[in-house]
Chain A
Amino acid sequence: MSAKHKKFVYGIFKDDEVVMNAIPVLKSQGLRVKDVISPFPIHGLDHALGLERTRISITCFLYGMTGCSLALLMMYYMNIFDWPMDIGGKPSYAFYKNLPAFIPVTFESTVLCAAHGMVITFLLRSKLLPGVEPHVIHPRMSDDHFVMAIQITEDSEAANVETKLRAAGAVETIK
């Protein structure tokens, strides 16, 4: 979307069901429906556009495993290897004997790394950072309007695309 060299024609819609019905129609007419910007998530939109399933939950699992391993390693090093303490007649001399007491910190560390790792990945991957200038196509696209982006290669295609968009239910088109 943000790539400057690509050319788009935008169709503005006022209803999510009209958008969903328009996608297969426009696709069958040979238009390249690249994206739909909506004020709220539309169920089934990713499937209709042919987007691949997001892998962000896999990264979350990996971050979680990292947090889990790091916590266990840290506790093993600090309390068992480097400086075992004998508090209240309960010595910390064997990792497996201390493991039950290590569960809470292991769990918290797993969640900490999984959650923050995933959120940071989401923000970076979606290019969401403070100071990023948004590409606002229509002032009400975050309110109650839906923007469909059709990619074109030549400027001459635009008029044809606009007609097709209007026929599919767009109330307005922007070049």
Chain B
Amino acid sequence: MHKESELRPPLILGDKTWHDISNDVCRPVESKANKWWWLAFSLSLAAFLWWVIAVSYTVGTGLGVWGLNKTVGWAWDITNFVWWVGIGHAGTLISAILLLFRQKWRLSINRSAEAMTIFAVICAASFIVSHMGRPWVAYWPLPLPNQFGSLWVNFNSPLVWDVFAISTYFSVSLAFWYTGLIPDFAVVRDRANTKWRKRIYTILSFGWVGSAKNWQRFEEVSLVLAGLSTPLVLSVHSVVSMDFATSVVPGWHTTIFPPYFVAGAIFSGFAMVQTLLIIVRKVLTLEDYITIYHIDMMNRVILITGSIVGVAYITEFFIAWYSGVEYEQYAFINRATGPYWWAYWSMMTCNVITPQLFWSKKLRESVFATFIISIFVNIGMWFERFVIIVTSLHRDYLPSSWTMYSPTWVEAGIFIGSLGLFFTCFLLFARFFPVIAMSELKTIIKSSSEGAKKKQSKTPKSEQHA
């Protein structure tokens, strides 16, 4: 059996058994929601309602109801799209990349982080569809035979790459997530004591019984999906960044974009995971599974990716000067000192300075500080996309068309509403789905739980390796 040093911090606190894990994780599914859940759910649903109104108004009237103009043709829509896609990246990083690196601490958080990925990509896709203005022709970027002669989509265009990247990312993440959920749905099914719960979870669990052959295939499928998802997740934000990088707009036309966007995506994604899980562990009393150690590990990822993002900002600035291209230089001077200076400096403060606070172990292990800093990072990463998009566009090559951009209530509604959509989905997930990958977590209880470590330290060294 796998042995682990007792010096390593335990991943599961308390003297838990396999049955305790089933009880603790299934409790939210099997009990009634408390008033806090209903309050949060009502607020999210109300925000989502604003989304429905704002999107319906946009589609019914036209894109003119947004604050866009001839110079600034992309603004909050694409800012929000990139922000949401970026947030999604943490889920895949946790479930795929940390699986390949055999990081066992992923097991308590991978399920909810993957759920977050799926809901974030849904929110992102909603901006793509709504910014088209005519969503009924949303199938035009697909390579379908059409009525416009023999014209096909242009496969040299990054926007077409994006259609493939986002749809592959979404559907593969969904398949990965659901495959992992099947054995856990079976746990809920076998425990169910009401007729309807039994019936619903029987359907959801696809008739799973954990026979040896099923587990053997299951583990192979998980491993190969992790191997496929790892380059996939890196490709998605690279392709998103190429939507900008392949254009000739100063401030966008830079080769640093793919790695810089991927680091930023992981950075913002982990911040969102922290924001959500700090609430989830408290509300669902899962503090024994999502421990301070988990929070600390995620804060380290935030620290490293935040530093990469900081270096990327400075590199961009340096290269703008070093290139000798005056348009490029102006774009960056304008970002820092022009009319949108406040957005630029909000981004710099939130993304470059705040994560550096995590060099302090005390702050990394403080739930309150982590929560506050994670919110700062979320805000900072939103501003990053706003700065890249709006400040690069609003003063282009032709000074006579220089202009400012400000959003209307409709755009604000779609953004706040997308948060509503996200939290509505997440709250439903927390009520009806096992939020921790139980069957995977059970594999480490004999090696990495607090109880196992106590037992190990009591046994004399000579017997441990018997």
Total contacting residues, chain B, CB less than 8 A: 67
Question: What's the Cα separation between A122 and B152 when bound, in Å?
Answer: 35
* Chain B CB within 8 A of A130 CB: yes
**Closest approach, in angstroms, between the C-beta of A11 and any C-beta of chain B?**
14
Question: What's the Cα separation between A84 and B440 when bound, in Å?
Answer: 51
Chain A residues with Cβ below 8 Å from B443 are 40-41, 43
Chain B residues with Cβ below 8 Å from A83 are 149-152
Query: Which residue of chain A is the closest to B248 with respect to CB atoms?
Result: A88
* Chain B CB within 8 A of A87 CB: yes
Which listed residue, A60, A90, A112, A132, touches B207 by the CB 8 Å rule? A132
Query: Which residue of chain B is the closest to A146 with respect to CB atoms?
Result: B210
Per the 8 Å Cβ criterion, residues 55-79 of A in contact with B are 56-57, 60, 74-75, 78-79
Beyond A85-B154, A87-B154, A134-B189, whether A41 also contacts B213 by CB under 8 A is: no
Q: Say yes or no: A143 contacts B440, CB within 8 Å.
A: no
Total contacting residues, chain A, CB less than 8 A: 65
* Chain B CB within 8 A of A101 CB: yes
B45-53, B132-140, B223-231: which lies at the interface: B223-231
**Closest approach, in angstroms, between the C-beta of A155 and any C-beta of chain B?**
24
Instruction: Name the residue in A39, A101, A114, A134 with the highest tally of chain B Cβ atoms < 10 Å from its Cβ.
Output: A39
Beyond A105-B160, A108-B165, whether A141 also contacts B212 by CB under 8 A is: no
Q: Say yes or no: B210 contacts A141, CB within 8 Å.
A: yes
Encoded as 1 (CB less than 8 Å from any B CB) or 0, chain A from 110 to 154 comes to 011011101100110111111111111101111110000000000
Question: What's the Cα separation between A101 and B150 when bound, in Å?
Answer: 21
Question: What's the Cα separation between A123 and B206 when bound, in Å?
Answer: 9
Question: What's the Cα separation between A41 and B115 when bound, in Å?
Answer: 23
Per the 8 Å Cβ criterion, residues 159-184 of B in contact with A are 160-161, 164-165, 167-168, 171-172, 175-176, 179, 182-183
Encoded as 1 (CB less than 8 Å from any B CB) or 0, chain A from 31 to 49 comes to 0000111111111011001
Chain B residues with Cβ below 8 Å from A49 are 212
Beyond A54-B216, A54-B217, A111-B231, whether A1 also contacts B202 by CB under 8 A is: no
Q: Say yes or no: A46 contacts B207, CB within 8 Å.
A: no
**Closest approach, in angstroms, between the C-beta of B266 and any C-beta of chain A?**
19
* Chain B CB within 8 A of A173 CB: no
* Chain B CB within 8 A of A104 CB: yes
Q: Say yes or no: B155 contacts A107, CB within 8 Å.
A: no
* Chain B CB within 8 A of A51 CB: yes
Which listed residue, A45, A60, A85, A92, touches B212 by the CB 8 Å rule? A45
Q: Say yes or no: A115 contacts B165, CB within 8 Å.
A: no
Chain B residues with Cβ below 8 Å from A92 are 156
Inter-chain pairs besides A102-B155, A128-B214, 16 sampled, C-beta below 8 Å: A17-B1, A36-B211, A37-B211, A45-B212, A46-B216, A79-B154, A105-B164, A107-B231, A112-B172, A115-B229, A116-B172, A119-B175, A130-B203, A136-B209, A139-B190, A140-B19
